[in-house]
Structure 1
């Protein structure tokens, strides 16, 4: 335990290093006839229907830090919003191209973006029961429009956390909603097991504190081993510029930006261990997805935790 605390202190000094960024410029207009709407979900007679609504807008100046939980910080960051550019007839297990428009607070297209974590936009998609997770990277089509191909495995409600960085500004997080028609299946019981196997990788998650408490910083440690011989993995490579990425979402009946946390791996190299610093803002149950690159193959390890 003493060794862990010492390591924790040394690594904490490295958390404010920022990565380089590049700018993408506008050159094309959005196609005529497109409409912009943010989609909320309305359940009616056992089916989920889309309904146009005002988008949920969020901003978060966390660039260069190892963890953020998407809390507003006054006027340090300009407000931006993301809107689905058109309605799509979404069906389970059928790929669909979604358009996303990024606008400023006055409804004008934001046309220039900085690259961060090797991408222009990171789009986290989760089912609202947190059984489904996807980490996508939409393609920028100019004039504030992004496109992405998504696939939804089953009927239900889905939340999108769009993370992007308008040029010269801090990162922004916008929340969008989509529904896939049909009867929503019941979610399985929550599994609080801290050791799981994902293909050829065994993953165990531990924390620097015996109990997780809301508002307290905690050190999350993912230990990765080969399934075949139970030895630490030796072929971890950078994933999106980091040793690993950690997405955390709080269980909630209506997911918002306050339920979303994105942590980057700390500058730590110890065999198959990957370390993160994070904080759970409120008591409750949270789903964690750690993502790691094993020689070109991304391993996504998911765990539930209970926070007091």
Structure 2
């Protein structure tokens, strides 16, 4: 073959190699993946009280990495995983009043775990959600020296509730592995179920409008954008909350399966917004109830909307 005829072939090979490298870079970028005032919304009750004893400023937060999510921790619908077990102090809680829910996490050796890594400034994140996806509470419980945790819940409506714990052991065989475990609790009384609101792209809370853009597909990482406005104007004073500008928790309509995502937007003081970017990965199709928490002027806001995942 002559030199002149081989040049186009070499050129095409170089372009193909460059294209492959660019595609790989995009794939890797896609994979990388707010104090305590509760906001009010029908069917919702938000606990977001933090505790100094559950924070540890000396340790780096595992949630500091932009875009880090916890889908690897599973859907949280079991009280055991990888030898770790969640045990609670009872199967019922009183209706219509505040309640303290006590629980312990035991390790593969059967002993209470007391050493937890810091994730988004906390060693333990606790969530409560009723079976109809109302009454959402996100709490940062406190731990006693013996490994017993106490989550102070706001008033609970009658019905079936699932209590989720999200944590990362800092020693033992599970060190560095994010886990989500849960148990169900019954709140006695006549249960009045609330129908899941229809899927929507926006929600309002405390005068703010939250708009979601993106079409997530089940089991795949898709870009998703959340825009925060007030009176039609872009909001640019979002404050860091748990080392990020927005905390996003999702629960599946059929079984309350858990998913936890964070924005990829870099934190830069009290100047967050109006747009927050996510790499969203929701494992199953259907309706998911999203709870977006963000902070302005020292107040925590919690917006909720239903997202349909194909």
TM-score, normalised via structure 2 length: 0.71
The residue number in structure 2 matching 1:222 is 226
Q: CA deviation at 1:289?
A: 1.0
**Contact residue 126 and residue 164 of structure 2 kept, 8 A:** yes
**1:184 aligns to what SS in structure 2?**
coil
Q: Distance in 2 between matches of 1:290 and 1:120?
A: 21
The residue number in structure 2 matching 1:142 is 145
Q: Does 1:22 align with 2:56?
A: no
Q: Distance in 2 between matches of 1:182 and 1:188?
A: 19
The runs of 5 or more residues in structure 2 that have no matched partner are 1-24, 34-55, 76-80
Select which of 298, 304, 307 maps to 2:306.
304
Superposed CA RMSD:
3.0
Q: Does 1:193 align with 2:200?
A: yes
Describe the shift of the 1:220–1:20 C-alpha distance in structure 2 as closer, same or farther (beyond 3 A). farther
**Contact residue 236 and residue 273 of structure 2 kept, 8 A:** yes
Q: Distance in 2 between matches of 1:89 and 1:274?
A: 39
The residue number in structure 1 matching 2:165 is 162
Which of the pair is proportionally richer in strand? Answer: 1
Which of the pair is proportionally richer in helix? Answer: 2
**Contact residue 124 and residue 167 of structure 2 kept, 8 A:** yes
Q: CA deviation at 1:10?
A: 11
**1:191 aligns to what SS in structure 2?**
coil
Q: Distance in 2 between matches of 1:147 and 1:176?
A: 15
Describe the shift of the 1:78–1:167 C-alpha distance in structure 2 as closer, same or farther (beyond 3 A). farther
The structure that has the greater radius of gyration is 2
**2:203 aligns to what SS in structure 1?**
strand
Q: Does 1:82 align with 2:86?
A: yes
Describe the shift of the 1:13–1:155 C-alpha distance in structure 2 as closer, same or farther (beyond 3 A). closer
Q: Distance in 1 between matches of 2:31 and 2:199?
A: 31
Alignment of 1:73-112 (within 5 A): 79-84=83-88, 86-87=89-90, 90-112=93-115
Number of matched pairs: 248
Select which of 234, 251, 254 maps to 2:253.
251
The runs of 5 or more residues in structure 1 that have no matched partner are 1-7, 24-60
Q: Distance in 2 between matches of 1:200 and 1:193?
A: 18
**1:236 aligns to what SS in structure 2?**
coil
- Of structures 1 and 2, the one with the larger relative CO (CA 8 A, separation 6+) is 2
Q: CA deviation at 1:111?
A: 2.0
The residue number in structure 1 matching 2:187 is 180
* Runs of 4+ residues deviating >6 angstroms: none
